[in-house]
Every structure is written in structure tokens, then in C-alpha cells.
Structure 1
């Protein structure tokens, strides 16, 4: 069984990209906030040779800890670096050892090349920044590189597509470990969209935008606020004064997915939060979020999250339900 994450180490090398490092710090290095009741992690930044770590953006870092500080972390994050085709052998060995002992390993952006050097991508689905997916696939031909996803989880290994996708992937892990309520609180603190949903069991497919579509934004907001309504393509098209065919084409162009998939993802997310925060029955929740009945909710929830609604509630409700 993967560990419960209580300790996090971020590995940095010369040329470390500041956004990638900062994204990991934003999620995993926060102190306690009473208003959020957020988890606090034993957090450390480590590097092969402690001291000055050169950066590519006009400033350097001073890192006090060597790689031994990451030897027992439950979650090992590898920050991307500019010269990604030259990963540190010491970092690759540290990553391989962490995976062997069962820790979570998360490679942000071009840090996926470190996983390749560590031999951890063979036979696994993975991703990196879209500019570098062809190079990753050519360099590690046994890897199953997917350029059409924001991030991928394969067992305890997570790879992110770069930049803001690092936050998406980190929030996915936060949700997986501590539930939707905790992940949503972290997203609010960082002023980013909540964790964008997808197939959690093996890998995350392309995540859909929140409510920022160019012309359909107001409709998407209305959908989220009215999940129990008739949200068929015909009805949504009528609200937008379009033909169903034109509406479906416009929706996919602006969100990257179909109306049905988008609505289903929003309903699953709403059900997730109600399972955590209330003690209402699954039938009541199914009706509240628009699935209509418990069987339909169970089908879509299990397909999206890899566990049944009841299993999810047992894992993540606890004190939240007792205090509701």
C-alpha cells in the first residue's frame, strides 16, 4: 500500500526552473492555517551538493540539505531544470530508491527525464511538457508517453505536463490523500481552479477547463449552480439559442470535451463534496447533483474515481460529517 503522505522532499539541480519549484512549495510547504485546517508536511528541499544551486533566471538558490535528507520522504518531487537532457545520476538513483521503498514520486514537467534515467518509465504511461514529448518518447522508447494529458498517475508515479499542470497534479495527489474538501481549500488559497477531474484509478485523461470558456463561460457557471436541472444537449443548446449540432461543436472547441462529459465531471465533483461534508444518503446526493438515482451515481463515480461513493465516504468523511 502507498504511504500516507506526511513528509515531502523536493529535489533540485543546477538550472532548476523557479516556477516548478515554487509550485511544489505552494502546495506542500505551507504552515498551518486555522481557517482551512490544512495538513502540514515535514518539507525539505535537497540537492546533490548542498550550497549554491545555479538558476536560469538571474538568481541562484542556497540549499542546505543533501540528497540524504530525502531518504525517507513519503513523497519525492523532482523540480524541472533547464538542461533537462543532462539529469543528475545521483538524483536518478535517489528517485529509484524512493520508488523501490514504495514512496510516491512526482516529476514536474521535464523532470520526467529523471524518471527515465532511473528506469521508472518503462512500460508506464507518462507525460511531460508538450514541447518535449517526442524527445521523451525517443529517448525512452519503452515509455508510454501521452502528449494529450495534463498529468498522469501510474501507481505511485505521477508526471505532469509542465507549468500550471504541476499544480493540477499536486492537487490531485492532495485530493487522493486527504479528500476533495482539503484539495479545494488549497486551491482557494492559491487562487487557482479546484482540482480538475478525470479518471483517477490509473491515469488522468485531459482535464477540462473550469468555467473559463471564451463565450460559454456564463453557461458553464449556470450549469455548476444548477446540476439537478435538465442538462441535455438539446436543453443547453436552447438556452444558448443554437442548434444542438452547433452547440456541441462550439462546446468542444471551447472546453476540449463534450457537454455530457463536462456535466458528468461536475456532477461527480459535487457528489464528492457532499459525500465528505454531509451524512445524506447516496440516493439523496444522486438526486441533488442530477444523476437521478444511486445506481447512476455509483456508475459514474466509480468510473471517474476508481472507488464507490460509499468507499469514498468511509475514507474522507470522518470529522467533516460529524460536525455538519
Structure 2
């Protein structure tokens, strides 16, 4: 049974802490059995907002966990507690996968776990994280960063994205999607997705691309051009580009490329189609083209992605029948 330890100390942000407890600490054996052996680890009873939390173990217990999660805390003007930093560093040295939620990245940075790596935190604190730790490549425009044994997330909802990403790594996409459905949240948002959109997306009926998007998504297998999209939208290519920038923040071709890659991800997770077939279905033409663009966009080849995120059958106890998860 995989073990997850949540490192807690005074002043932790209650939302990020609660999200981790809800994903890893709830009894979800009706969805995947075994689930996680979850514990709270802290130096003593800690104060989180108006609540006092009694940990299950001391901070030294972090070194016995497979995964250590460090929530953020409010007072980032102060250095993180030395005992917490030392315990997280020791846990990683002992082989634990360490993930920070929101400003918990400051703890990982102080422990030296982010030196020479790319990382993120809540966008409002990325400049300060970069100032204090110049050896870290701080990316303010992503939801989370996965460096293998060290992961960091932005704040609030992005913390849930990282938690579900960890579940996906451990149990596969089918289980992660079931957990997301239970929590009524999006099942999968790429870590590279922007933390926020500077230009608000208009309501669906308030912009001229409303009918174009579903038309394109139904024809991803076809070699569409900007001229094809402009013709369907009944506007010039220049006007189309302007509207795309306003609505999506990107160009028509980049948006189309992203949709092809996302559709390829879905097919790799949920079907046995060959890479050649998926390349044709997504409009990439050949397997070679798909592999090149997929690796450049996602960071791994299609075959590696499939092995990592392939939907897996629901695991149940030998003595318990498979149950339907609550809606």
C-alpha cells in the first residue's frame, strides 16, 4: 500500500491542506483498493487558521513515506521552519517523492530540492521565490511542474490538479478520472496550462467563433488550414487571427495543434489504436510527425505517455465485489 505523509506546521493554508486530505486521506477503497496509507506529520499540535490539528506522527516520520506533500502557508515573508525543511530534505534523501502545493515550494527551495530545476508556485509569489532562490527556474505561467521525484504546483485549484496528477501516476487515468468525478473537478489539466488567462474568454454566444470550435473539433483528421477556418467563420484570415487571439490567447494554427495533441493523448489513454492510426485520426499524417510534435509539446514520446497514463482496470479486494463510485 503506497504511503502518503502530509507535512504540517503552524500557519499552513487550510484549502491546500484540505485538498490533499480529501484526495489521499479519504477512504476511497471503493474506487481503488488498496488506496493510500495516509498520515499527518508535524512537530506538535499545529494551528491552521481557527483550527488546531493534532498530527499522527512527528516530522521524522516523513522519511518513512513514499510520497511527502507540503502544503503552502500564509507568511511567506518569513523563512520556513528549520525543522520542517530538515525533515523534508531527509525524506527526499530517503527516497520519498516530494510535492509542494502553492507556497509549499518555499520549503522545497529552502531544502535545496529545487536547485537547478524548473518549479512553480502561486503566481503572486513567483517573483519572491525567484529572488530568494536564483538557482531555480521559476515558471509563473503553469499549473504544476513534474521533475520526477520533486513536484511543485501553483495555488488553489492547481493544487488539486497536482494531487490528481499524482493519483494518475500511481493508479492510472481511469482511477484519477473517477476521483475527479467524485470531487466534481476537471479530470485532467496539463501541468503546462496557464495559471490564469489575462484576457477573459467571452461567453460562448458572445463571440464569432462559437460555431467554429465544434466544427474544427469534428474534423481534426482533416488537413485544415487557416484559410479553411476563415472560410467557415466567414471572415478574412486576418480577422480570424485577431478573434482567436482575443478568445484563446493564441493563433489559429497553435490552437489547432493543441487540439490535435490533446485528442492524441485521449486516444493513447483510452484505445489500443496504433500510433499510425492515431496520427491519421488527429490529422498529424504520419507516426513520425505525431511522435515529433507530441514529444515537443508533452515532453515524452507517445509510447511512453501511453505506458504512463494508460487506463487501468479497477483494483478491488479479493473479498469485496467491485462497487460503483458515488456520483
Q: What secondary structure is seen at the aligned counterpart in 2 of 1:63? A: coil
Deviations 1:34-72 (A, max 9, x none): 5x55872111121121x3x2122x433333332233222
Deviations 1:166-208 (A, max 9, x none): 122233333344444333333333222232236xxxxx46479
Q: Which protein shows a greater Rg?
A: 2
Distance (Å, rounded) in 2 between the aligned partners of 1:290 and 1:83 = 49
Deviations 1:4-37 (A, max 9, x none): x922111111111111112222332343365x55
Match of 1:31 in 2: 27
Q: Is 1:6 aligned to 2:2, yes or no? A: yes
Higher relative contact order (CA 8 A, sep 6+): 2
Asked if the contact 1:29/1:40 (under 8 Å) is kept, the reply is no
Say what the alpha-carbon RMSD is for the aligned residues.
3.0
Task: After superposing the two structures, state which structure 1 stretch, 37-46 or 130-139, moved more.
Answer: 37-46
1:247 CA drift (Å):
2.6
- Of the candidates 31, 38, 59, which is equivalent to residue 43 of structure 1? 38
Match of 2:54 in 1: 62
Q: Which runs of 5+ in 1 are unaligned?
A: 199-203
Q: Is 1:288 aligned to 2:281, yes or no? A: yes
Q: 1:178 to 1:213 in 2, by over 3 A?
A: farther
Q: What secondary structure is seen at the aligned counterpart in 1 of 2:48? A: coil
Q: Is 1:109 aligned to 2:102, yes or no? A: yes
Asked if the contact 1:112/1:128 (under 8 Å) is kept, the reply is yes
Q: Is 1:147 aligned to 2:140, yes or no? A: yes
Asked if the contact 2:101/2:152 (under 8 Å) is kept, the reply is yes
Q: Is 1:237 aligned to 2:230, yes or no? A: yes
Q: What secondary structure is seen at the aligned counterpart in 1 of 2:54? A: strand
Distance (Å, rounded) in 1 between the aligned partners of 2:298 and 2:264 = 11
Deviations 1:81-137 (A, max 9, x none): 111223111111111112223322111111111112212232222222122122112
Q: What secondary structure is seen at the aligned counterpart in 2 of 1:99? A: helix
Distance (Å, rounded) in 1 between the aligned partners of 2:196 and 2:263 = 15
Match of 2:316 in 1: none
Match of 2:325 in 1: none
Distance (Å, rounded) in 1 between the aligned partners of 2:61 and 2:210 = 46
Match of 1:201 in 2: none
Distance (Å, rounded) in 1 between the aligned partners of 2:233 and 2:32 = 41
Q: What secondary structure is seen at the aligned counterpart in 1 of 2:51? A: coil
1:249 CA drift (Å):
3.1
Match of 2:294 in 1: 301
Q: Which runs of 5+ in 2 are unaligned?
A: 314-327
- Of the candidates 175, 179, 182, which is equivalent to residue 182 of structure 1? 175
Spell out structure 1 runs of 4+ moving beyond 6 A: none
Match of 1:118 in 2: 111
Q: Is 1:277 aligned to 2:270, yes or no? A: yes
Match of 1:72 in 2: 64
Q: 1:127 to 1:236 in 2, by over 3 A?
A: same
Asked if the contact 2:169/2:308 (under 8 Å) is kept, the reply is no
1:218 CA drift (Å):
5.9
1:316 CA drift (Å):
4.8
Q: 1:312 to 1:154 in 2, by over 3 A?
A: closer
TM (norm. structure 1) is: 0.81
Q: What secondary structure is seen at the aligned counterpart in 1 of 2:152? A: strand
